[in-house]
Chains A and B, each alone.
Chain A
Amino acid sequence: MGLLAFKDAVHLVSRTGLGAEWDMIKQLEGRSQEDAVNWVLHSAASGLRPTPRMTPWLKLEPMRLNDMKTRNSAWSISQREGKLLQAWWVEQMLATHTPFIERMTLFWHNHFTSSIQKTLQPSLLYQQNLLLRRHATGNFAELLRAMARDPAMLVYLDGYQNTKSQPNENFARELLELFTIGRGQYRESDVKAAAKAFTGWGVDNNTGKFIIRPEEHASDSVTFLGKTGRFTGDDIIKILLEHPRTAERLTEKFWLEFVSNRPDPALVSVWAQQLRKSHYDIQRFMRTLLTSEPFWALQNRGTLVKSPVELVIGTLRTLPYPRESTQELLNLCRLLGQELFDPPNVKGWSGGEHWISTQTLLVRNAYLSKLSRGDLNDKSAAGVKLPNASEEQLVEWLLPVKPLQPLPTTPGARRLVRSLLLDPAFQVS
């Protein structure tokens, strides 16, 4: 395995992190591929920004059962604190030294979606975010079991209302359709059976923590995906983890996030088998992915669209331009279609080409244009200090493919960088 050239180091950093940070790239340039990938996978996670003040479940939940005025005030609290929570993550993403952890946490947030709008419980979403972080590069089987017990998830998909006398199928349905095996692999009767197995799983009103209420659990025998028994929720999860489609769908999702817009079915099937055999070891899986031929292949560069978070936050981590207020960054992400802690629906953000429409491109372009404006002839304007590098290297730093527009003929790094930011190729990685 060869040593990483500058542009390969750029590729690894921008695909696994948020932006293409010069210092990180310089650290990895010249290392072996294996060494560089290990560095990404094993860096100790940065500390977290201070926890925003949020009203606990215990206080907020009873307010909802009260009169209209108290209910309205519970709603206002949830909106206000939801914004604080969004700001917290944005600031964490701006400050972290381990952006890979943020990327993985965001990946899981988009797999196991939950929203502050449906739950109206920002503190639960915060707890869920911590959970996703803990398991970010850990073990998917453990993560899945933990998510099925996560209070935000139990509220988001109505699991906490799933009882023996009144089964609620919402969580069971999404567990099958979105979190594991996917459509076409099960029937309605499997959804009903799974819902039954999870009856009694809820949130303790006194503590806001997960609880199993045996008296609400339907313990009769059911048939789920061809197996019959008196199943608990964990039994259902076990069966789903043994199903080949679970690992395959997860592998496809990882491919679309990190490799290219066209998963290779043969390789997906091989990686999925390895994933299942490793009992869903995510770190080992990511090593396979990041050291694979398709990950590094030149024809796959520039085939992933930068998400709004990558574009808005990643560009700020890459270039030393003065940044907008956190509220304005959140507003930009919203206009670009990605509100943290508030995905559009339970399927999450579709990503890829869906990020790009005439609407969003206008805002993307305006943001980058505003960010990079200023006196382009002034070398040291207001703290904007660009790396001392050749023109060729600046191009390789900021674009994954050759520029689509001609470069400016007037020399000067600031002018060149602005032109690269406004090149359509800057939208991809």
Chain B
Amino acid sequence: MNRREFLGMAALLPWLSALPAEVLAAAPRPQQRILVLVKLAGGNDGLNTLVPYTDPLYYQARPTLGIPKHQVLDIGESYGLNPYLKVLKPWWDKGNMAWVQGVGYPQGSLSHFRSLDIWETAVDASNYSDTGWLGALLPGCKPGLHGIAIGDSAVPITGKNCNTIAMQSPQSFLSQISLLEDIQPVTTNSVLAHLTNVHHQLYAAGEQLSKKLQHPAALGVNFSSSGFGRELESVAKMILTGVDATVYMVTLDGFDTHSNQAGVQSNLLYQLAGGLDSFAQAMQRGGRWNDVMLMTYSEFGRRVQENHAKGTDHGTASVQLVMGGKVRGGIYGDKPDLSHLDGEGNLSHSVDFRKVYGTVAQQWLRQANPWKPFGTLPFV
């Protein structure tokens, strides 16, 4: 029984309310767990991120793009990390890093828009939803502020009752929120009730955020000055300043590597690794590393066979990186089977992405798992 249920019962059982208030208040309340979503927009090539360097078929399919064996960062089990992820290697060694491979879904869509939609709303390829995968889940976690997205992209944390704020930067948010006055929710009709309730929630979240953002915690860690580095730095500051959101979201764009992939992806992975490393260090210094889980996702992986422009076309299954103090390090999911590709030359998935989501929902956010039939993975 969690605290909310306990308090709910207290109202039902009169003898409980006779207990001194301190006893109720002292009911154990675990430190709020946090999920940081890192969206790798454009479709990140999983095979060149977590490299199956012992598979000859990999080098056959990637004559120019294959990462030579001597360059990969060996992490055992015949896998190697892309060399540009080097600064993350110590986190792997520490056991704070999990890779889930072969993640996808049946009838994978090769359209950026559609596949992203599927990933972000957790529907089957033939279904549609307006609610992000966390949008329905988060209102159950706690009242108040649920999610903060930096940048325009916030679909996973969108939902009618999900209190999410999307900001270009904390500065732009502060100037926007200062324009909003509070309102008491009304019941004139259900539309105005919803509207004024959202308005009030937004105001309350804004109050909390602006107070905290005006006096951000010092991180003591340097972040890269790239856009992505700054976004993660803002998230780290919000967390360590005690902003009370469950999910944060940042985006790194540009993974649609149809041509000259090597340079583009190396650069992006370098930015990604640098940002995540600084972020993890900041959390560790601030004493929150055990409360944080970082997770990447991308709309799809890429075609196994490289194309004639030294790039790769849209694919299906790919890898997800999960990091955190409580993460159980390791590699999950089956090794990609390069000998059995689908009609388009794409990988079959071995892990449905909703299995990953279900694990996060159940094992990390401690919510009922909406994707139970897909099972869970033991990465946390």
Contacts and interface: CB of A to CB of B under 8 A. Distances in A.
A404 B196 contact: yes
28 contacts: A68-B258, A68-B309, A261-B189, A299-B189, A302-B189, A303-B190, A344-B130, A345-B128, A346-B128, A347-B128, A353-B160, A354-B130, A356-B198, A358-B202, A358-B205, A361-B195, A361-B199, A362-B166, A362-B206, A365-B179, A366-B176, A366-B179, A369-B179, A401-B188, A405-B183, A428-B191, A428-B192, A428-B195
B202 A353 contact: no
Interface stretch (B72-80, B109-117, B361-369): B109-117
A190 to B, nearest CB: 15
Interface string A404-416: 1100000000000
Contacts of B176: 362-363, 365-366
A118 interface: yes
B164 A359 contact: yes
B259 interface: yes
A352 interface: yes
Interface in B218-272: 258-259
Interface string A382-412: 0000000000000000000100110000000
Contacts of B206: 362
B195 A424 contact: yes
Interface residues of A, number: 42
A344 B111 CA distance: 13
Interface in B304-353: 307-309, 311
Most buried by B among A365, A405, A428: A365
B154 interface: yes
Nearest to A305: B191
Interface in A336-353: 344-347, 350, 352-353
Contacts of B205: 358
Interface string A261-292: 11000000000000000000000000000000
Given A72-B258, A302-B192, A428-B192, 15 more contacts: A72-B259, A299-B189, A303-B191, A305-B191, A345-B114, A352-B191, A353-B160, A357-B160, A357-B164, A361-B195, A362-B165, A362-B206, A401-B192, A405-B181, A424-B192
B98 to A, nearest CB: 30
A404 B160 contact: no
A69 B259 CA distance: 9
B191 A302 contact: yes
A171 to B, nearest CB: 14
B163 interface: yes
B191 A358 contact: no
A357 B309 CA distance: 43
A425 interface: yes
Q: Which of B165, B198, B307 is the most central at the interface, judged by chain A CB atoms within 10 Å of its CB? A: B198
Contacts of B199: 361, 424
Contact of B259 (A68, A117, A354, A425): A68
B308 A354 contact: no
Size class of the contact patch on chain B: 35 or more
A153 interface: no
Contacts of B158: 357, 359
Contacts of B186: 404
Given A345-B128, A422-B181, A359 B165 contact: yes
B180 interface: yes
B190 A305 contact: no
A95 interface: no
A404 B308 contact: no
B122 to A, nearest CB: 14
A304 B160 contact: no
Interface in B142-190: 149, 152, 154, 158-160, 162-166, 173, 176-177, 179-181, 183, 186, 188-190
A117 B130 CA distance: 19
B201 interface: yes
B258 A350 contact: no
A368 to B, nearest CB: 9
Contacts of A359: 149, 154, 158, 164-166
B33 interface: no
A357 B198 CA distance: 6
B46 to A, nearest CB: 22
Interface string A4-25: 0000000000000000000000
B20 to A, nearest CB: 37
B246 to A, nearest CB: 14
A335 interface: yes
A369 B175 CA distance: 11
A315 interface: no
B165 A305 contact: no
Nearest to B180: A365
Nearest to B172: A366
Interface in A99-127: 115, 117-118
A29 B190 CA distance: 30
A137 interface: no
Chain B CB count within 10 A is highest, among A303, A358, A365, for A358
B181 A261 contact: no
